[in-house]
């Protein structure tokens, strides 16, 4: 397609608005484009979520305000404010929790990261989680679990997924992986996290992250994954 015929993304947002509503909607879309292209690389996840929520909220507010016969400007301001709050739901609590877990897990090999669906994931390797064939939590893991449960926001739910290597067969690995997840749930419950907030799953050896043909690979596959998700996000 010739460059002079390339459609602009801003008019697509506000093509059905007239007058001030269309101008404001286009301005909001343009501002969002400039923000994302120039500033996001310098933002934390918390700031980025707020900015994105505000931009989307402003456009949506302008649209609703205009098509409903109201004031597009007032709708954009209100939508931007609400969008900023909504965009910050994950970031405010879970980003802070991620930082705290990284500090608690320093030197343990635990990996803490944000997933594509805005959950916080902590992968705890076998070196600090469970001995081979056992479902007893190692002392090194307790500091991590203490941090998971510390000041956990009411809207956050916990999912614990146990994994094993391929040694022993499914008849052993399936219940063992679930027993490990249950041990984590029970420990969190002892630290004040209600058991009904914790979902437990045992995946056995079905989801390896490394080859089971070596000691190193099998050790990587014996792991526990803990997910935190905000039910209000």
Please determine, for residue 49, whether its predicted confidence score (pLDDT) is greater than 70.
no
Please determine, for residue 204, whether its predicted confidence score (pLDDT) is greater than 90.
yes
Q: What percent of the chain has pLDDT over 70?
A: 60
Task: Find all residues with CB under 8 Å of 212, minimum gap 6, and list them.
Answer: 165, 166, 167, 205, 218, 221
Task: Find all residues with CB under 8 Å of 108, minimum gap 6, and list them.
Answer: 124, 125, 127, 128, 140, 144
Please determine, for residue 79, whether its predicted confidence score (pLDDT) is greater than 70.
no
In this prediction, residue 230 carries a pLDDT of 87
In this prediction, residue 2 carries a pLDDT of 53
The pair of structure tokens assigned to 123 is 């992968």
For the chain, domain boundaries: 3-87, 91-230
Please determine, for residue 87, whether its predicted confidence score (pLDDT) is greater than 90.
no
pLDDT higher at 32 or 201: 201
CATH architecture of 91-230: 2-Layer Sandwich (3.30)
């Amino acid at each position: 397609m010739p460059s002079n015929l390339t459609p602009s993304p801003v008019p697509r947002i506000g093509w059905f608005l007239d007058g001030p509503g269309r101008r404001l909607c286009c301005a909001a879309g343009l501002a969002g484009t400039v923000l994302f292209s120039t500033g996001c690389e310098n933002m934390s996840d918390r700031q980025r979520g707020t900015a994105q929520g505000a931009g989307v909220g402003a456009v949506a507010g302008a649209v609703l305000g205009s098509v409903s016969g109201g004031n597009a400007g007032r709708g954009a301001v209100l939508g931007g404010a609400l969008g900023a709050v909504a965009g910050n739901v994950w970031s405010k609590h879970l980003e802070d929790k991620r930082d705290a877990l990284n500090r608690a897990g320093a030197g343990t090999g635990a990996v803490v990261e944000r997933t594509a669906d805005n959950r916080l994931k902590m992968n705890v390797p076998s070196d600090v989680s469970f001995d081979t064939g056992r479902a007893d939590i190692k002392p090194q893991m307790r500091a991590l679990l203490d941090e998971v449960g510390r000041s956990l926001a009411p809207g956050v739910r916990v999912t614990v997924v146990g994994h094993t290597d391929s040694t022993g067969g499914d008849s052993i690995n399936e219940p063992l992986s679930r027993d490990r997840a249950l041990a984590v749930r029970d420990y969190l419950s002892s630290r004040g996290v209600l058991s009904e907030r914790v979902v437990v799953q045992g995946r056995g050896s079905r989801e390896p992250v490394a080859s089971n043909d070596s000691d190193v690979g099998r050790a990587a596959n014996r792991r526990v994954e803990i997910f935190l998700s905000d039910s209000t996000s």
